[in-house]
């Protein structure tokens, strides 16, 4: 129940935000710690995902594992933007190894537990 003051004949009006600002976040972690947090306001698509890999994932893995990309594997769900041709090409070109992962197992996905 919400009590409000109003004049006789005036309709009850609750002010709402018409155009909320949405901020999305992407992060990574390993047994060596947390990586860069990448914040963005746009809808995530394949092109932006490749920028996230370039400016978020790769600098974090370089800090943890050096220039040797064979000491780690990327775990992500089977979202279409992760499995797009553009992202696959980027990962192959930068020697990023991905682990196979079931698309219907959010409870087992470690990043879901970090964000929760």
CATH dotted code for 24-115: 3.30.420.10
pLDDT, one tens digit per residue, over 53-99 is: 999 999 999 999 888 767 889 988 888 888 899 999 999 999 999 88
Domain boundaries, the chain: 24-115
Burial 27-36 (b: 16+ CB within 10 A, else e): bbeeeeeebe
pTM of structure = 0.73
pLDDT, one tens digit per residue, over 16-26 is: 777 778 888 88
């Amino acid at each position: 129940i919400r009590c409000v003051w109003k004049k006789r004949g005036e309709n009850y009006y609750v002010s709402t935000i018409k155009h909320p600002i949405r901020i999305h976040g992407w992060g990574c972690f390993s047994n060596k710690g947390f990586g860069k947090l990448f914040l963005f306001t746009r809808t995530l698509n394949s092109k932006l995902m490749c920028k996230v890999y370039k400016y978020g994932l790769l600098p974090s893995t370089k800090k943890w594992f050096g220039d040797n990309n064979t000491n780690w594997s990327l775990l992500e769900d089977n979202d279409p933007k992760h499995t797009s041709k553009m992202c696959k090409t980027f990962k192959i070109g930068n020697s990023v190894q991905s682990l196979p992962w079931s698309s219907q197992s959010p409870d087992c996905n470690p990043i879901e537990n970090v964000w929760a």
